[in-house]
Amino acid sequence: AQKITQTQPGMFVQEKEAVTLDCTYDTSDPSYGLFWYKQPSSGEMIFLIYQGSYDQQNATEGRYSLNFQKARKSANLVISASQLGDSAMYFCAINTGGFKTIFGAGTRLFVKA
Amino acid sequence: SQTIHQWPATLVQPVGSPLSLECTVEGTSNPNLYWYRQAAGRGLQLLFYSVGIGQISSEVPQNLSASRPQDRQFILSSKKLLLSDSGFYLCAWSVIERQSTDTQYFGPGTRLTVL
């Protein structure tokens, strides 16, 4: 069975600084995809970034990058130049094929002015 | 571009009353559709998914049911609500190009309170 662990219930970061949100995963499948979603207070889940298990390079999308360390089974999200609007819950998720995506418990990020 | 709608946005219902939440997707054909529930401060729990009209798979046995009467319409129902049904319900869609790359896109959600 697949599992996602997000060990940081809450994180604080100063505006304009970078922050790393941790995510470790557990799966025995060689093929899988890792996802990060942002959930602001409005509730909508917003897709941020995707990393495939066979991708050679770390994924990047604007200010978001994924620090993928396959041997350690970690997929940390790095947000550069934090903005006040980045304050939200962030969820890491894994899919190993099929229709079931497993989500972690989430990390709440607070950006300070 | 694709958009996903959910309604109502908020709902307060008494215990034992029926429920119907609706989700529609625009701008894509034959999407995979999903219903999730999120308890306060928690992650997402997959309730149902559908790969086509009339095709429903249930992940969690409970008093909820789902139906897909049209390609881009997904409905979550209950005949009698329980207190434990309270939560935030999210609908999502995806188009799988390759297994394990199932990027799901979510609707705005429905906040359900059962009293």
Q: Give the start-end residues of each E strand in B53-109.
A: 55-58, 64-70, 73-78, 87-94, 105-106
B9-58: per-residue pLDDT in tens? Answer: 999 999 999 999 999 999 988 899 999 999 887 889 999 999 999 999 98
Asked if the model's pLDDT at residue B60 lies above 90, the reply is: no
Q: Which residue of chain B comes nearest to A32, CA vs CA?
A: B100
Q: Cβ A50–B101 below 8 Å, yes or no?
A: yes
Rounded CA-CA distance B50/B54 in Å is: 8
Q: Which residue of chain B comes nearest to A6, CA vs CA?
A: B43
Contacts of residues B64-71 at CB distance under 8 Å and 24 or more positions apart, as own/partner, are B64/B19, B66/B35, B68/B33, B71/B29, B71/B30, B71/B31
B87-107: per-residue pLDDT in tens? Answer: 999 999 998 765 567 789 999
Which residues in chain B are closer than 8 Å to A8, comparing Cβ atoms? none
Q: What is the pLDDT tens value at each position of chain A, 113 positions in all?
A: 889 999 999 999 999 999 999 999 999 999 999 999 999 999 999 999 999 999 999 999 999 999 999 999 999 999 999 999 999 999 999 998 878 899 999 999 999 99
Q: Which residue of chain A comes nearest to B50, CA vs CA?
A: A99
Q: Cβ A33–B102 below 8 Å, yes or no?
A: yes
| Selection from B24, B34, B31 nearest residue B4 by Cα | B24
Of A45, A52, A53, the CB nearest to B90: A45
Per-residue DSSP letter, A45: -
Written as six digits, the tokens of A91 are 């969820």
